[in-house]
A and B are shown apart, each in its own frame.
Chain A
Amino acid sequence: MERARLMGHKRDYHTQRQLLGIIFIIPTVLFLLVFVIYPVIYNVILSFTDARLMKPDFSFIAFDNYKKLFSNMRFLKYVKNTLIWTFFSVIGQLLLGLSIALLINKKKSGTGLRSFLLIPYVVPAVALALVTKWVTNGDYGIVSWWLNSLGLLEYRQSPLAVPGSAMAVLIIVNIWRSYPFPMLIYWATLKGIDKELYDAANVDGAGTFQTFWNITLPHLKNTTIVLAILRIVWTATYFDLIWLITGGGPAGTTTHLPIMIYQASFGTFQTGYASSISVVLGLFLFICVVFYVKKTIANDR
């Protein structure tokens, strides 16, 4: 008797519960629809139009924006810049993140140090950009001064005014800003490796390098793939830092596609054209995202 009552309650509960789950997800779904999915579709639509920033009406011009983009003399140069920026930033931050993770994983008392090393993760890009401009100032910057003392830079020159070195500065600053994320993830992965594996290796007389090569690295493979994909997406589309430090200069040597998008939409007010650039960029990254999402969701939940 008692049991039947309980079963009934449980059944009621399940219907009720199901309803709650659906009600709870509604705000998320609505927000995703209106401010994420719709914008993405809208962006694709805009890329086939001659929309301008201040005109509400526009007409369809098929692939004209894309034709214009691919016939732009500078487009390939900007793609190349994007690739350089992304490649070195991602490699750099993964390597640095991994090295630091290995370092703090060594000692038990690494928490305080870890906390300190996570700080760059939340430093506002604007503040970082301004410090970068200050230390690389041609006249009064301390980094310019050091480089000049080392004979690497002309007197009263700024590394930001030299092609190549401007990109290098940006990449270093970007690595500084973004290594904490990989560091954290690598650190968590390292914690998850079974200690017994190392003990066994020690018994077998394997050296530090050997254990790293044979045990640690294989365990990091999946993490690295997922991290790399995620960071490629974020880095290739990251706008603030470059915009605020060099604005794409000198001579367009640090202009990457996001800067090109911004200039097209707020420089020449060609919203449609800007959208077509972001669609091209998005297509590349979409493949990465799909891969990442599949891998993460398959692995986890």
Chain B
Amino acid sequence: MFKKMVVLVLLLVVGAMVFAGGNSEDTVVEEKDTSQKIVIWTNLTADAQAVVLRKQFTEVAQEMDVDFEMVTISFGDMYTKLATAVESGTVPDIMHTNFSGTAYLYSQDMLSPMDDVIADLGKDDFIASYLHVLNAEGKTWGLPDWALHTSVWYRKDLFEKYDIDIPTDWDEFMAAAEKLTIDNDGDGKTDIYGFPVALNATHVAAQTFYEFLYSAGVTTVDPETGEYTFGSQKETAEEVLDYMMELYHNVSPKSSIEWAWSEYRNALVEGTVAMTLDMGAVILMSQSNNPEMLENLGCFDLPGPDGHKAASFGSGYAFVASNSGDSDQIKLKKEFLTRLYTKERAAERALSRPMFAFPSLYSAVATYRDDPKVALFGEQIDTITDAFENNNWYWYGMENGLSQLSSQIESTTFFGETLQSVALGMESTEDAIEYIDQQLQEQVALIQ
């Protein structure tokens, strides 16, 4: 009997909840009808970013007297959500997404070109290479917000202690990493590893691999013509993979095949690796988890195999507007976006992830540099901004501007699976590159 009562009570509670739920839904709907509403999606990668975005959206919405709804989409399931949205026709008005997401939406004919907004804001104020990535068919399909750049982040103190110079080619890099693989207390367990080869199958393996590939001059498609080129560069790709595997076997913790961003960043910040590839997010992590480590951290670009670095791996975020609605609605979206591009706001957004995000406006870069959060890293900022302005940098599959190939690479795991197989000795480098080539060709065929 008692149990029956318990069940009944539970049931009532549940019923009450449903009732309450129904009610609150209604009130939300009512609110929505008062004025024009802009739906904005943003990929949530860090809470700090979402806070700043919400604040700026609120301000701009007030200035324009419109309503907005901000929906955060975790990066991990971005493509699922985008596909769902596209399929059901509930695409947002504005989306804040990375360059691959932009490419995906562009490939679905969902976007409105941004050249007019860029012209209004002053095309010269935008860093040119940012605009280039978002280009297709002679138009720019997104407003670049900020970009990120892959460098080798390293422990300056350890380099000094072991008397190591910044490596200028792959042999030197290997030698440095070997020197930095250290057993401090002589108990046979390595305490510090030189360089982790992070190969988590979701996103990370492909990112690691591409930084090495680009350094050695291998690209998926030709940067000039957009022709598929990976297939004709398989030999170089094999050498690159062999080199990565040598790093993995000699200077990397064995578990790094499963490492994603948080693991390798944490390892550098906590002092268990001496170098790692990263996009500068180690800084924020160090500031919050281990501030003492901060002054020991520096960065340099991964060198090319024999000194010459062909290109590096990078990406960024952009604001895009959907092409849904009449011309008034599109105008409204564009006005909303224009207002987000004051130099203060652009800098503030980039600063919500210091050293990870670099603003796309020259005018904002100045404000960015003055901020105390990044002022410490003047030297690093020089290195990175220089790379953005003067060197080639690509995002996988986007060597020739916007391409859906990048989102296909990003949402699949065949890179990770294959690279891990090689690391574990289950597959030869040759087979692995062959398989990657086959998969890439399949993807290329799919998007044509």
Contacts and interface: CB of A to CB of B under 8 A. Distances in A.
Interface of A: 53-54, 56, 73-74, 138-139, 154-158, 160-161, 163, 247-252, 255, 263, 266-270
A161 B417 contact: no
B79 interface: yes
Given A56-B87, A158-B258, A250 B411 contact: no
Given A160-B258, A267-B411, A268-B446, A248 B417 contact: yes
B258 A268 contact: no
Nearest to A262: B80
B108 A255 contact: no
B253 A156 contact: yes
Top 7 closest pairs, chain A to chain B, by CB: A251-B420, A138-B255, A251-B421, A161-B258, A252-B417, A54-B86, A267-B412
B359 to A, nearest CB: 32
A267 B413 contact: yes
Contacts of B253: 138, 156-157
A203 B201 CA distance: 63
A157 B258 CA distance: 10
A130 to B, nearest CB: 14
A255 B201 CA distance: 12
Given A249-B200, A251-B423, A267-B412, 4 more contacts: A155-B189, A156-B189, A157-B255, A268-B446
Interface in B232-257: 253-255, 257
Contacts of A269: 79, 83, 411
Nearest to B86: A54
A56 B80 CA distance: 16
B202 to A, nearest CB: 6
A54 B255 contact: no
Given A158-B258, A263-B412, A268-B446, A249 B417 contact: yes
B322 interface: no
A163 B408 CA distance: 26
B381 to A, nearest CB: 31
A250 B87 contact: no
Given A161-B255, A252-B421, A53 B83 contact: yes
Contact of B443 (A156, A247, A266, A268): A268
Given A53-B87, A247-B201, A248-B413, A161 B408 contact: no
Contacts of A252: 417, 420-421
Nearest to A255: B417
Contacts of A156: 189, 253, 255, 272
Contacts of A157: 253-255
Interface string B417-439: 11011011011000000010010
Interface string B253-291: 111011000010000000010000000000000000000
Contact of B420 (A250, A263, A270): A250
A73 to B, nearest CB: 6
B401 interface: no
A65 to B, nearest CB: 13
Q: Which of B86, B202, B421, B438 has the most CB of A within 10 A?
A: B421
Contacts of B200: 249
Contact of B257 (A74, A154, A250): A250
Contacts of A160: 258
Nearest to B253: A156
A53 B253 CA distance: 39
30 contacts: A53-B83, A54-B108, A73-B435, A138-B253, A138-B258, A155-B190, A156-B189, A156-B255, A156-B272, A157-B254, A157-B255, A161-B257, A161-B258, A247-B202, A248-B413, A248-B417, A249-B200, A249-B201, A249-B416, A250-B424, A251-B257, A251-B426, A251-B427, A255-B417, A266-B411, A267-B79, A267-B413, A268-B408, A268-B411, A268-B412
B86 to A, nearest CB: 4
A138 B424 CA distance: 17
Nearest to A56: B87
B201 A248 contact: yes
B106 to A, nearest CB: 13
Contacts of B79: 266-267, 269
A249 B255 contact: no
Interface string B63-103: 00000000000000001100100110000000000000000
A249 B83 contact: no
A157 B263 CA distance: 12
Which of B108, B258, B435, B438 has its CB near the most chain A CB atoms (within 10 A)? Answer: B258
A156 B270 CA distance: 14
Interface in B270-324: 272
Contacts of A248: 201, 413, 417
A267 B104 CA distance: 13
Nearest to B267: A139
Contacts of B254: 154, 157, 161
B108 A249 contact: no
A263 B443 contact: no
Given A161-B254, A250-B424, A251-B426, A266 B201 contact: no
A157 B424 CA distance: 13
Contacts of B417: 74, 248-249, 251-252, 255
Contacts of A251: 257, 417-418, 420-421, 423-424, 426-427
A163 B413 contact: no
A239 B80 CA distance: 17
Contacts of B435: 73
Nearest to B431: A73
Quick one: which of B189, B255, B418, B435 has the most chain A CB within 10 A? Answer: B255
Contacts of B423: 251
A250 B201 CA distance: 8
A20 B84 CA distance: 41
Given A248-B201, A248-B417, A249-B417, A266 B80 contact: yes
Contacts of B202: 247
A250 B200 CA distance: 8
Contacts of A138: 253, 255, 258, 263
A251 to B, nearest CB: 4
Contacts of A255: 417
Contacts of A270: 446
A154 B193 CA distance: 14
A80 B426 CA distance: 15
